Amino acid sequence: MNLFDSADFGALHLKNRIVMAPLTRLRAGERGVPNDLLVEHYRQRAGLGLIVTEGTWPVQEGRSYPGQPGIETDEQIAGWARVADAVHAAGGTIVMQLMHGGRVSHPEIAQTPRIVGPSAIAAPGQTHTATGKVDMPVPHALELDEMPEVIEGFVRAARNAVAAGLDGVEVHGANGYLVHEFLSPVSNTRTDIYGGSPENRARLAIEVTTAVAATIGGDRTGIRLSPQHNIQGVLEEDSDDVLATYSAVATGLAPLHLAFVDVLHPEPSGHLVRTIRSLAGAPLIANTGFQSPTGRADAIALVADDVADAVGVGRAAIANPDLAARWEHDLELNEPRPHLFYGDGAEGYTDYPALAELPAV
Ligand SMILES: Cc1cc2nc3c(=O)[nH]c(=O)nc-3n(C[C@H](O)[C@H](O)[C@H](O)COP(=O)(O)O)c2cc1C
């Protein structure tokens, strides 16, 4: 396959196999409502085969960062409808990453009395609130009878995303947030059916994705996983346990006939990711993680060698609104400006020029 060929992942049509990876940018204001800037940012990137939005909270309690958007209120749904309309008008396809932050939050950020996690174990380090840096708080360990409401929060959010006109959703099961916190035996020390064995730790990921797929269709549903990312205290250091846990996840997902599985791992051609791909039986979007920004040659090779069906691209998509055209014709690239990744305003967000806008040389 060719990176620049189109693909159909379930009900999602991708005009090429370059996927805009989910990218948190924190420009949605206090109420978490997509504004003109977000509309423009995503519209500019509609040339990518698929846009996965920034991590978006399904419920207030799951908000990890100030400025992060939500998909809970009417105002947020209306804001996302404007984003979806703009992307569709520009010929793109867009799904929403549903991100419950779990213990990576703070009551001052979420503006809720508590934050939640699998176990009463704080994430390491500190987080930024409006009033400065604070230690990560100890979360409320979700009670067994609270689990259905957590799942229902994802379901409502998926319904809201589709009502807003997005083409589907990606359950965020990666990077140390709630679903991932359940997967690791370090952040999840529960002794009930959601903890202990690999199958039990895999349960929430499967239940959330199953419930979402039952609501909007498996062909509009994906999930992101990041085994062995070892981030935010969600450690997965025993490779046998990792293989067992993610095999359980992928086996549980198989009946859903998902649109895609999006895996962040430095070795997408290795045994672990190949196992996830084949057990889940869904198209694989591969992303090699943070070590170095995804480049053109690697992306082309991943698809050409059938390691992946598509490639998730983060930083190059931030800096190049017309990345697909630039890569296809092997043209020069804008450099990302990392100090502007998170923050306010258009600078470093919607002001990266498309090549057609560059002065002729
Ligand atoms: C500014 C920034 C924000 C990110 N936000 C998210 C996010 O909201 N959800 C997520 O799953 N990954 C997030 N990531 C990870 C990216 O999706 C991607 O995996 C990472 O940037 C590595 O890909 P790259 O080398 O192409 O940049 C973020 C990365 C960056 C640089």
Cβ-count burial of 178 within 10 angstroms (0-12 exposed, 13-18 middle, 19+ buried)? buried
Q: How far apart are the first and last CA of the chain?
A: 34
Please, which pLDDT band fits residue 178 given cuts at 50, 70 and 90? Answer: very high
DSSP 116: E
Cβ-count burial of 221 within 10 angstroms (0-12 exposed, 13-18 middle, 19+ buried)? buried
Q: How far is the CA of 360 from the centre of ligand 1 (A)?
A: 32
Task: Answer whether residue 358 shows pLDDT above 80.
Answer: no
Residues of the chain with pLDDT > 70, as a percent, come to 99
User: By the 8 A CB rule, do 175 and 226 touch?
Assistant: yes
C-alpha to C-alpha distance for 259 and 212, rounded to whole angstroms: 12
**Ramachandran angles phi, psi of 231, nearest 5°:** -125, 145
C-alpha to C-alpha distance for 19 and 299, rounded to whole angstroms: 10
C-beta of 24 in contact with ligand 1 (< 6 A): yes
pLDDT in tens, 21-61: 999 999 999 999 999 999 999 999 999 999 999 999 999 99
Cβ-count burial of 317 within 10 angstroms (0-12 exposed, 13-18 middle, 19+ buried)? buried
C-beta of 264 in contact with ligand 1 (< 6 A): yes
C-alpha to C-alpha distance for 305 and 356, rounded to whole angstroms: 32
- The yes or no reply on domain 7-356 and CATH 3.20.20.70 is yes
Whose C-alpha lies nearest to ligand 1, atom 2? 23
Task: Answer whether residue 303 shows pLDDT above 50.
Answer: yes
pLDDT in tens, 198-209: 999 999 999 999
pLDDT in tens, 250-288: 999 999 999 999 999 999 999 999 999 999 999 999 999
> Candidates 18, 24, 63, 226: which one to mutate for ligand 1, based on the most atoms within 8 Å of Cβ?
24
pLDDT of residue 357: 62
Nearest to 259 by CA among 129, 149, 166, 123: 166
- Exactly one of 177, 194, 349, 352 is catalytic; name it: 177
C-alpha to C-alpha distance for 25 and 56, rounded to whole angstroms: 11
Please, which pLDDT band fits residue 131 given cuts at 50, 70 and 90? Answer: confident
- Extract the runs of DSSP E, i.e. beta strands, from the chain: 7-9, 12-14, 18-20, 50-52, 94-98, 116-117, 126-129, 132-135, 140-141, 168-173, 221-225, 260-264, 284-287, 310-313
User: By the 8 A CB rule, do 79 and 35 touch?
Assistant: yes
Q: How far is the CA of 23 from the centre of ligand 1 (A)?
A: 5
C-beta of 98 in contact with ligand 1 (< 6 A): no
65 catalytic, yes or no? Answer: no
The arithmetic mean of pLDDT across residues 66-88, rounded, is 98
Task: Answer whether residue 360 shows pLDDT above 80.
Answer: no
